[in-house]
Structures are given as structure tokens and as C-alpha cells.
Amino acid sequence: MNQDPTMAVLAAERRRCEAMLANDNAALADLLDPRLNFAHATGAVDDREAYLAKMAAGRIVYVGIAWDEERVNMLAPEAALLTGRMTTDVRVEGVDKRLNNRVTTVWAKDGDWRLVAFQSTPLAG
């Protein structure tokens, strides 16, 4: 039975967040498309290998992730846009931060749903 694509994208995002919180690079690697473009709220951009290397080295340690206002827009049968607000408690280079961002993600299905792009923008105030 095929899962509703909206629910499948949300489930893939939940797995991605769980892998980030567990610092499980193997699980995370399975969820990241080889074409990944990960744009941090600082403006820094990582490809898949750079992002996974930062995670593996402990340069980025996720402590808490909460989504709000999630919305999935199907762009095609195998492409989706997931947007919403994300509050993230993270340790970057040893510094604890709380990030309140508006987030846009792009997912593509090639067998499984994988994250192709991530863009976060800090919310004012």
C-alpha cells in the first residue's frame, strides 16, 4: 500500500530530526540526497558531505527540534516543499544556541523521500 505523499514527507522529516538529535550519521545519510544544499540561518551553505562531516566531528550537536505550522505542498508526484517554523536548540562549535527560524525544505522521492534542500531564515524578535 502506498502512503499518502504528504504523510510520507512529514514522516521522513521526523526521521531526519530524530537522526540529528541522536547524532546518527548513518540514518541521516540515508535521508539526505547527494545533491543536498543546506543553507544555515547564518548564510553558510553545506553540501551533503560537509554537513555530515560537521555532524560526525561534533561541530553541530542538536539538543532539541520542534516544528510548528508545517505545510507540505506537492510540486510533482515525487517532489515536495515542506515549510514551517522550526525552533532548534543546538550547540555549534561548543556554543549553545536557540534558533527560531522560518524553514523551507525540498524533498525528492527516488525510492525513498530524501532531503534535497534546506533553507532557514531567522525570525525577528
Domains annotated for the chain, with CATH where assigned, are: 5-122 (3.10.450.50)
3 state DSSP class of 6: helix
Indicate whether 16 pLDDT > 80: yes
| Residue 46: how many other CB atoms lie within 10 Å | 18
Report pLDDT for 35: 97
Name the region of 23 (left: φ>0; alpha: ψ -120 to 50; beta: rest).
left
pLDDT tens digit sequence for 60-119: 999 999 999 999 999 999 999 999 999 999 999 999 999 999 999 999 998 999 999 999
- Residue appearing with cell numbers 547527494: 34
Residue pointed to by grid coordinates 560537521: 54
